[in-house]
A and B are shown apart, each in its own frame.
Chain A
Amino acid sequence: MSAERSILLSFATLIGLASLSSAQQSLESAFRTTGAEVVAAFDTPRQVLQTSSAVIEQGRTQLAYGMVVSSDGAILTKASEIEGKTGLTVRVDRQAFDEVEIVAVDPVWDVALLRVDADDLVPVEYIDEDAGDLQHGTWVVANGATSRLARRALGGVISANAREIPAAGGAVLGLVMEVTDDGVRVEEVVEGSGAERAGLEKGDILVAIDGMVVGIPEDIIEAMGERSAGESIQLRYLRDDGEHDVEVPLIAREELFAEQMMTRNDMMSGAFSKRRSGFPRVIQHDILSNRSTVGGPLLDLDGRCVGMNIARANRAESFAIPAAEVREIAARLMDGEENS
């Protein structure tokens, strides 16, 4: 799928719109698909959003939504939206929690497990395990804007086939390298990359990657092979004080070079998620969310959880992790928590 090659919709000019105004009729906003009168029909799922979705904030800034997965305070959210943030607060229904612990992160799915001190939360109820993928055109409901006390719902439909979204531009370390007499030397560490997080610096000499000796930069490209964003590789490097082993998390090239890789479709899309590719499997729907309304549950008309909203890809495409995978991720992250 080449977004850049697609023919772009032309922008209507204001003059063009103004010239139509005499003969046109317009639908009041309350009756539009996202309007209050239409949204009122989603009352059952809205009740579930009220009790089982979470609002994650830092001060007055809303960062993301979350979904409650246990009565004793386990909440899933989108990891990259809260990464590096401190002083998080979480609101569920009418309760507010200022002590929030980031317990575990699944970097492949970009899901974080948060823990708040509670014992009476209402976890989401998943659809039947053997339900399979929802048919195209089936109603789904997700978080819209929120007030302090009330969650709002937005409706949409399943838009396309469930599928993998490969890391845009492939998975990268975030290193610019140069071949020197001493070996492959780091020329630059890209800001925000896994290499930077792992502590690599300009001048380090790369010795081995996943146990394989590095002779030329192509060795690294080969070792990266079919790796996905979210996975890590073992890197051994040489610095003045000797050899060091580190684990370097891989991220999507698009995430690292977001600005340089903006397409015209992106420019017409407003606030899309920073991490919006590199998911093993997603369902796609047309609920018009924005970056900070991602992370909450995706519900059916009965209010059962059919997925977890994980990315706003652009102005017209939203991705959710399917229920079966969310269930597995939640169980695995909570299990790891118990064992640690």
Chain B
Amino acid sequence: MKNSLIVMVAIFAAFGTAAMARPFINDKPAPEGRGDLEVIQSLLHRNLPAARAATVAIELEKGSGTGVIVSEDGLVLTAAHVSTGVDLDLTVVMEDGTRHDAVSLGLVASSDAAMIRLLGEGPFPYVEYDSEDRTRLGDWVFSLGHSGGFAEDRGPVVRLGRVVRIAQSTYQSDCMLIGGDSGGPLFDLEGRLVAIHSRVGQRLPENMHVPMREFLRYWDAMKNGEFVGSGPFAQMPSPGTGFLGLVGEAGDGGLEIQRLANRGPAAKAGLEVGDVILTINGNEVPDRDTLRKILDEMAAGQRITMEIRRESGEHETLEFRLDER
């Protein structure tokens, strides 16, 4: 009994190393005939289904991009120019067409990295990512993307290529990218996520991706919803551009609403004349000036949490977004 246990441990150890080994094909300058091509193909066949299942289309009001799920509870990596900002509402479309609400977390505006959180009930299909920076120049890679937007009869599009250039915060591959692929995943032959699609060269077939090391560097900041760096891939919303749509006066315990803009965000959220605003995002609002100061710091599209007291004396908490002024 004891012996057999030892044998099993040995077998597991052997399997473990086999799984970690780098496909030998990556260390050949070029495939030497049919056998080598079939090695690439069989790895691709084996790892495509899981990679496809975790690849999602991301839909916003102004367009669509791609992303990839990297955790069972629905953390999605994409490009900053796809998520465009922090704490925005998005829709994520799975391979089979199932739609989930999602919200954008943080991003790195200077390198085009971003994170999104799925709001639906997990577990979600996800992929492992390369956390050890194992990609080398010439490695075979495959890209997935919802080119031109989600199309259920087509599915995500796969392209095969090699890593042809490595720079500090960019990989370049010869997997051709096109609009809609942005934010999509680049995988190594073992199906590990190694980078996220970012941009293309204007004339040459240059396809640029943000490597995982850039994501790992800012992982916690992005997860905490921080807007890191400035441009060119995302613009910080300017403060003072938000519109609430109400006029109030100092009242009992807060700001009493006098007038509401027709179809303004406050009216749409269900506020009524006579309601008293007790707090906005946790801050007390005793008078008009305080409200003005709070709004001056906020931008269009930002989320507002408002604690109010109705005329009936009932307390309520409303959550909605500021419109554009």
Q: A139-B41, A286-B160 are in contact. Are A160 and B63 (CB under 8 A)?
A: no
B202 is an interface residue with CB less than 8 A from chain A: yes
Q: A137-B158, A137-B160 are in contact. Are A7 and B147 (CB under 8 A)?
A: no
Per-residue contact bits, chain A 125-149, to B (CB 8 Å; 1 contact, 0 not): 0000000000111110000000000
A6 to B296, CA, bound (A): 33
By the criterion CB–CB under 8 Å, are B160 and A156 in contact? yes
* B242–chain A nearest beta-carbon distance, Å: 24
Q: A1-B148, A8-B182, A315-B178 are in contact. Are A44 and B167 (CB under 8 A)?
A: no
B198 is an interface residue with CB less than 8 A from chain A: yes
B137 is an interface residue with CB less than 8 A from chain A: yes
A10 to B234, CA, bound (A): 11
By the criterion CB–CB under 8 Å, are A33 and B157 in contact? no
A40 to B137, CA, bound (A): 20
A269 nearest in chain B by CB position: B178
B23 is an interface residue with CB less than 8 A from chain A: no
Per-residue contact bits, chain B 147-169, to A (CB 8 Å; 1 contact, 0 not): 11111011111111111111110
Category for how many chain B residues contact A = 35 or more
* A313–chain B nearest beta-carbon distance, Å: 10
Segment at the interface with B among A18-26, A114-122, A171-179? A18-26
Contacts of B60 in A (CB 8 A): 7
By the criterion CB–CB under 8 Å, are A160 and B158 in contact? yes
A32 is an interface residue with CB less than 8 A from chain B: yes
Q: List 24 A-B contacts (CB under 8 A).
A: A1-B148, A1-B151, A3-B179, A5-B62, A6-B148, A7-B180, A9-B198, A24-B168, A25-B137, A27-B165, A31-B138, A32-B161, A32-B174, A44-B34, A136-B45, A136-B158, A139-B40, A158-B158, A159-B157, A159-B158, A284-B154, A286-B157, A288-B205, A301-B37
> A residues near B, CB below 8 A?
1-3, 5-12, 17, 20, 23-27, 30-35, 37-38, 40-44, 135-139, 155-161, 163-164, 263-265, 268-269, 284, 286, 288, 301, 314-317
Q: Which 9 A-B pairs have the closest CB atoms?
A: A6-B180, A137-B44, A37-B30, A316-B176, A24-B167, A20-B167, A3-B148, A1-B151, A286-B159
List 9 additional contacts besides A6-B63, A159-B158, A268-B179; criterion CB under 8 Å. Answer: A7-B179, A7-B180, A9-B179, A9-B199, A10-B198, A24-B167, A27-B137, A157-B142, A316-B176
> B residues near A, CB below 8 A?
29-34, 36-38, 40-41, 44-45, 48, 52, 60, 62-65, 81-82, 137-138, 142, 146-151, 153-168, 170, 174-183, 197-202, 205-206, 208, 232-233
